[in-house]
Structure 1
Amino acid sequence: MVVRPCVREDAAAAQALRGLAFGGPREADPSWVDSPGFTAAVAELGGAVVGFTRVWAFRQFFGGRAVPCGGVASVAVAPHARGRGVASALLDDALVGMREAGQAVSALFPYVKRPYRARGWEHAGALERVRVPLAELRVPRVDVEVRPGTAADLAGAQDAYLRTARDIDGMFDRTTPGFTVERALAEDVFTVAVDGSGVRGYLVARRPDGSTVDVLDLVADDVDTAHALLGQVASWAGYTPEAGLRVLDPALLDLVLPSSVTRGAHVETWMLRVVDLPAAVAARGWPHAPDLAVDVEVVDEHAPWQAGRWRLTAEGGQVRAERGGEGSVRLLARALGPWFAGAASSGQLRRSGLLDGDAEAARALDRLVGGPGLPRLADAF
């Protein structure tokens, strides 16, 4: 088997694999291979392309800081080649490529779990959409100016997004080439809430038919802005019974939204893997970390550069990982993602068979991340 970079001459075969695996067109303009924001690879058997994957260059917030992240997507294998290690070979190649690109962690949305768990990814968070009955969506009237957004508002809307997203572990910063802020202008609704200082919130929505409104983004700096933008959603009550809302800020649902919602209407879980432990530790924010030191041993046959013993040292809110220590806590590769994201406690990881060793030292890992919680993503890929 040969795994190599995907070039334009592979575009037809790669697109056919993607269409067969995930639906959608099986033919496309071959220039998609050269699109910015991702790198792609193919696997060959007997000179024929039988596998494809790509890795998006993202940046994912953890602890208030954006960590370089490789977003693994479109892992597709020809039916006759399945069970022959094609997906595993593509993932092994992707791990090396992500490390070389400085992508310290990797996220993905799994269609199947087993091949990703075998290579060290594990569940760490969710992307959620809810249904909101518009007849019940009654919000207070507030003195906040709302108006249609224009191209001049895009930078302000991005700044508003970042003010919210950096406080939510798991969110992308949307500053890499795979994202274009201009896409808000192409949607049916782009509304901004403004004051003398600029954009304080915005709403992006799609009206696909006469029965629903799909809210793609609702971002607000404060409760009055949230009510003003929710009022824009509620104004559709005479035309449609409910709205779909992609959850960007969970506080909007739990603390602000004045009506019932259908939770769990659509939930996608995503997985995380630590690709390069010292780089990931250096890039992450650690707002909850007390001064401490904990020795760990990482078991990771597919990323051998981070296997072995490490001492994690926290001092003055800064954490670093250096070679050495006694290996008091043993973590399998699959444990690193949920721990790093603050998605699982050491006790939960222990009960799952992903961690063992000294219990007190393991609890120090919990104190570093301040978890557990539920990291979020609002962008599927």
Structure 2
Amino acid sequence: MPIRTLTDDDAEPVDRLRKVAFGRATGRNPLQPGVRGLLTEIDGHAVGVLTIKDFHQFHGGTPVPMGGVGLVAVDPHARGTGVASAMLDHALRDMRDHGQVLSALFATVPGLYRSRGWERAGVLEWIELGLDRLPRSGPRVRSRALSEADLPALHACYVDLASTVNGLLDRRPPTFDPRHLLDADVVSVVPGHDGEVRGYLVAERDRTELRVHDLVGRDATTLQGLIAELGSWSGVLDKISVRVTDPAVTGLLTGQGIKYTSTVSPWLLRVVDLPAAVALRGWPVARHLANAAVDLDVVDEHAPWHAGRHRLVVEDGQVRVEPGGTGEVRVHARALGAWYSGMQDTNALRRAGLLDGPAGLLDLLVGVPGVPRLADFF
């Protein structure tokens, strides 16, 4: 079936597919800065669409090029004919050609994406609680409204946090335009010395709640001060929803043992090119490990360029993947993403039937980084 590159002229049929698949049309051209896409046609009519966003995702403290797959929509009459599968296979080759060694997505139909090698690798989490139950004690910090001049320092504050949490995006342009923060209902900035930003919060007001998209601080005092500022909405609004960008915030918000609701959206990760993905990832633990290697047999029919036997080598604090080896550890494509992010260890992958053989070195390399997280939906 014909699959071609999405163009600006396809905005109208793509919006129709979006409305059919997701129940809403936006009227916007999907080809925004940092976005490209694929369109499938049958008899000259658009029946499927897929977009790929240009992201960099932190793993081991290093931003790794990642293709964010979204807007996967297929006309009802064309479903079950292989349109989505063909687009995903095409997208894998496209991402490899563009140097995107990883791919992440939020799956509405997990079975489809798992059949192509994506696997659950982290969460996007919101916490909801009553505003009257926020911790009332804590330090006060001096905050002010955001100005355009603050944007570079605010982004630097975010990146300092994101680099410590596997899965977070680095939010670099052009895919992200920091100027959109100037349109938010609430942006409070905690200034530091010499133009530094110590912390900030970004929120939108709804009729009964405040939705906090980012709550970021470089230290506990700043975070606690921003939480105290959120508490000032008590009596005006009923509740607060906080997207968990910094996992430390969870304990600060709920430190009184109060009841709260956590809503989790899992995201799936796929390794598009294993040797390149390993070369580009940060491996902080590697410099503390003795030289070692593990022989892999990668099972990946949809990315044949990295299928087969490889050796993952740790040498002098560096990690690389090279061809060859005995293939002692058989590893499925789905296992690669879950291992790479740190979401699953090899014991869980073995029980799931996605890995077979002694692979303790893989666990040592990833360490125990905590639950991988995204704080942006796409």
* TM-score (norm. length: structure 1): 0.95
Task: Describe how 1:58-73 pairs up with structure 2 within 5 A.
Answer: 58-73=55-70
Task: Describe how 1:47-86 pairs up with structure 2 within 5 A.
Answer: 47-86=44-83
- Work out whether 1:284 is the aligned partner of 2:281: yes
The counterpart of 2:266, out of the listed 259, 264, 269, is 269
Aligned sequence identity (%): 47
The counterpart of 2:197, out of the listed 196, 199, 217, is 199
- Work out whether 1:238 is the aligned partner of 2:208: no
Preserved contact between residue 201 and residue 214 of structure 2 (Cα < 8 Å): yes
Structure 1 pair 264–124 and aligned structure 2 pair: CA distance change class (3 A): farther
- State the partner residue of 2:41: 44
CA distance in 1, matches of 2:258, 2:11: 43
CA distance in 2, matches of 1:261, 1:5: 51
Preserved contact between residue 47 and residue 74 of structure 2 (Cα < 8 Å): yes
* TM-score (norm. length: structure 2): 0.95
- Work out whether 1:369 is the aligned partner of 2:377: no
- State the partner residue of 2:248: 251
- State the partner residue of 1:344: 344
2:188 aligned counterpart, secondary structure: strand
Preserved contact between residue 130 and residue 262 of structure 1 (Cα < 8 Å): no
CA distance in 1, matches of 2:256, 2:94: 47
CA distance in 1, matches of 2:161, 2:258: 22
CA distance in 2, matches of 1:347, 1:295: 17
Structure 1 pair 322–38 and aligned structure 2 pair: CA distance change class (3 A): same
Higher mean alpha-carbon deviation, 264-273 vs 80-89, is at 264-273
CA distance in 2, matches of 1:147, 1:372: 33
Shift in Å at residue 22 of structure 1?
A: 1.2
1:183 aligned counterpart, secondary structure: helix
Unaligned runs of 5+ in 1: none
Deviation track 1:146-168 (CA, whole Å, cap 9, x = no partner) reads: 11111111111100000101000
- State the partner residue of 2:323: 323
Structure 1 pair 264–331 and aligned structure 2 pair: CA distance change class (3 A): farther
Shift in Å at residue 372 of structure 1?
A: 7.1
The counterpart of 1:122, out of the listed 111, 119, 124, is 119
2:234 aligned counterpart, secondary structure: helix
Structure 1 pair 81–263 and aligned structure 2 pair: CA distance change class (3 A): farther
CA distance in 1, matches of 2:368, 2:139: 36
Structure 1 pair 23–260 and aligned structure 2 pair: CA distance change class (3 A): farther
CA distance in 1, matches of 2:178, 2:259: 29
The counterpart of 2:145, out of the listed 129, 144, 148, is 148
- State the partner residue of 2:105: 108
Structure 1 pair 241–260 and aligned structure 2 pair: CA distance change class (3 A): farther
Amino acid of the structure 1 residue aligned with 2:10: D
Structure 1 pair 315–373 and aligned structure 2 pair: CA distance change class (3 A): same
Preserved contact between residue 134 and residue 253 of structure 2 (Cα < 8 Å): no
The counterpart of 2:168, out of the listed 171, 189, 194, is 171
Amino acid of the structure 1 residue aligned with 2:216: V
- State the partner residue of 1:332: 332
Deviation track 1:100-131 (CA, whole Å, cap 9, x = no partner) reads: 00000000000011110110000000000011
Q: Which runs of 4+ in 1 moved over 6 A?
A: none
Shift in Å at residue 138 of structure 1?
A: 2.7
Shift in Å at residue 238 of structure 1?
A: 1.8
2:314 aligned counterpart, secondary structure: strand
CA distance in 2, matches of 1:259, 1:178: 39
CA distance in 2, matches of 1:59, 1:306: 21
CA distance in 2, matches of 1:270, 1:263: 22
Preserved contact between residue 345 and residue 371 of structure 1 (Cα < 8 Å): no
Shift in Å at residue 259 of structure 1?
A: 3.8
Structure 1 pair 261–87 and aligned structure 2 pair: CA distance change class (3 A): farther
CA distance in 1, matches of 2:128, 2:247: 14
CA distance in 2, matches of 1:139, 1:161: 25
Deviation track 1:121-144 (CA, whole Å, cap 9, x = no partner) reads: 000000000112221213434253
CA distance in 1, matches of 2:235, 2:84: 49
Preserved contact between residue 245 and residue 374 of structure 2 (Cα < 8 Å): yes
Shift in Å at residue 302 of structure 1?
A: 0.3
Unaligned runs of 5+ in 2: none
Amino acid of the structure 1 residue aligned with 2:75: A
Preserved contact between residue 121 and residue 272 of structure 1 (Cα < 8 Å): yes
How many equivalent pairs are there? 374
Preserved contact between residue 344 and residue 371 of structure 1 (Cα < 8 Å): no
CA distance in 1, matches of 2:352, 2:31: 41
CA distance in 2, matches of 1:58, 1:264: 30
